[in-house]
Amino acid sequence: GAGVSQSPSNKVTEKGKDVELRCDPISGHTALYWYRQSLGQGLEFLIYFQGNSAPDKSGLPSDRFSAERTGGSVSTLTIQRTQQEDSAVYLCASSFSQAGSYEQYFGPGTRLTVT
């Protein structure tokens, strides 16, 4: 079946603009995760969803970041008033369950560049 898809693959935006990043998880996966990968910082957890609810928002770096998931499927990560330090690759992953033992399947990422 289809894997995790993300769009756009690349996004260049001007500082101060808002951006929306989309993730389409594997069908049937109830858990969905957002990570940020930047040079020198490794993989940084942002937020995860179990169904449509987000029990853990602790990783969001500021209140400019928000995410939602509707219908237990597609998720959107929104960054308002983008800053240059937001430039990174944003990775989405999904898994069958948030039971811990289930592996996460990753999408190809969205490369965000803030100029």
Partner 1 sequence: AQSVTQLGSHVSVSEGALVLLRCNYSSSVPPYLFWYVQYPNQGLQLLLKYTSAATLVKGINGFEAEFKKSETSFHLTKPSAHMSDAAEYFCAVSVPNTPLVFGKGTRLSVIA
Which residues are at the interface with partner 1 (CB under 8 A)?
A: 4, 33, 35, 42-43, 45, 48, 56, 59, 91, 93, 98-101, 103-109
Residue 3 or 16 with smaller CB distance to partner 1: 3
**CB 109 within 8 Å of CB 37:** yes
Taking the least distance from each CB to partner 1, the nearer of 14 and 42 is 42
Minimum CB separation from partner 1 for residue 16, in Å? 28
115 exposure class (CB count in 10 Å sphere: 0-12, 13-18, 19+): exposed
Smallest separation, CB 105 to partner 1 (Å): 8
Question: CB-based burial of residue 37 (10 Å sphere; 0-12 exposed, 13-18 middle, 19+ buried)?
Answer: middle
CA dihedral 78, 63, 85, 95 (to 10 degrees): -50
Nearer to partner 1, 87 or 104 (CB): 104
Rounded to the nearest whole angstrom, what is the least distance from the CB of residue 44 to partner 1 in the complex?
8
